[in-house]
A = this chain, B = another copy of it.
Amino acid sequence: MAHSVAILGASGYTGAELVRLIATHGDMQIAALSADRKAGQAMGDVFPHLRHLDLPVLQKIDDISFDGVDLVFCALPHATSQAVIKALPSHLKVVDLSADFRLRDEADYVKWYGGQHDAQDLQKTAVYGLTEFYRDEIAAARLVAGTGCNAATGQYALRPLVSEGVIDLDHIIMDLKCGVSGAGRSLKENLLHAELSEGYHAYAVGGTHRHLGEFDQEFSMIAGRPVQVQFTPHLMPTNRGILATVYVHGDPAQVHDVLTQAYAAEPFIDVLAFGQHPSTRHVRGSNFCHIGVVGDRIEGRAIVIAALDNLTKGSSGQALQNANLMLGLPETQGLMLAPVFP
């Protein structure tokens, strides 16, 4: 029998992406969809690309009955998430796609997000949702915190290198390029087509992007010492895709070997042959992450490039992968859709 799930915050892009993926999953049934401001509307009116599906009408969260629901995907904005999740019935498993439960340390949360966390007890129990590195904990968790999409990309490129000690931890530079859907469906001048298309620029330059909280937490934990990377994201005139170009000090062949071995058994993480490197075009709409390693002309320096789709592997695909684990389903179920190219 299909597992019953609810999606809170279904009127945003990650909510819609969850519906898209679950549409061909086979063992999940969407029992409820929430969207406070659009309550009462049909999902197919809010997202006409989903109109062929038989979906529940959008509701206010307070009007949803969670009886019989097994798992909730929470695709609400930061801060709202913690309040909502705190109030959910305890029988529900929860996959949160917001930033609210990514940082385990209260002080870190305050530092990067400002203000006190509203659900500190939950914060302590939440499992960080980077599937490949927290698989067992996720399978056993009640609450999983989806990672930042940039944070996921960068960690795929770097985690095995940090844990194996093959790169200089004080010289890591991550120049990241991401599509606009990561910013959500919010009405901001800089997200308008006329402002965003046909050009590119950096943002959050100098180490102010909140996903650095995740990098700091995870890399420092793995390394057993404080690690700070340099991280500069750039906004691209595309809707989907993250490309992280990571500059490290280390032996390129060894870097490639470590990544190849680390991901050898992973269904979604694909390390290319040495010298090859990926394009965001070739993972679009899919749950795959392609990683390449190239040696620089300067000895002892390597460039690691990782590509994934921010809405899929970077967010909703990851969430579904984690939900599969939490519900005892095959991890890849519903996620083997091939990328859409061109």
The answer to whether A341 and B296 have CB atoms under 8 Å apart is no
Distance in angstroms from A28 CB to nearest chain B CB is 14
The answer to whether B187 and A189 have CB atoms under 8 Å apart is yes
Q: Which of these, B173, B298, B342, contacts A194 with CB under 8 Å?
A: B342
User: Which of under 10, 10 to 19, 20 to 34, or 35 or more describes the interface residues of A?
Assistant: 35 or more
Q: Which of these, B237, B281, B301, B307, contacts A193 with CB under 8 Å?
A: B237
How many angstroms between the C-alpha atoms of A181 and B281 in the bound complex? 14
Count the copies: 4
Q: Does A250 contact B (CB under 8 A)?
A: no
Q: Does A256 contact B (CB under 8 A)?
A: no
Q: Does A197 contact B (CB under 8 A)?
A: yes
- 28 interchain pairs (CB within 8 A)? A23-B337, A48-B282, A49-B283, A173-B173, A175-B245, A181-B194, A185-B192, A185-B195, A187-B188, A187-B192, A197-B197, A197-B239, A197-B342, A198-B238, A198-B342, A199-B238, A199-B241, A200-B243, A201-B278, A201-B280, A202-B277, A206-B294, A206-B296, A207-B298, A208-B297, A232-B245, A237-B237, A337-B337
9 closest A-B pairs by beta carbon, nearest first, are: A207-B297, A199-B281, A201-B279, A49-B339, A175-B175, A194-B342, A49-B282, A49-B341, A187-B187
- Residues of A whose CB lies within 8 Å of any CB of B are 13, 16, 19-20, 23-24, 47-53, 171, 173, 175, 177, 180-181, 185, 187-189, 191-202, 205-208, 212, 228, 230, 232, 234, 236-241, 243, 245, 247, 270, 275, 277-286, 288, 290, 292, 294-298, 301, 303, 305, 307, 336-342
For the A-B complex with A175-B175, A197-B197 known, give 16 more contacts whose Cβ atoms are closer than 8 Å: A48-B278, A48-B290, A52-B288, A53-B338, A171-B171, A175-B245, A187-B192, A191-B192, A193-B195, A194-B342, A199-B282, A199-B284, A202-B303, A206-B295, A207-B298, A230-B303
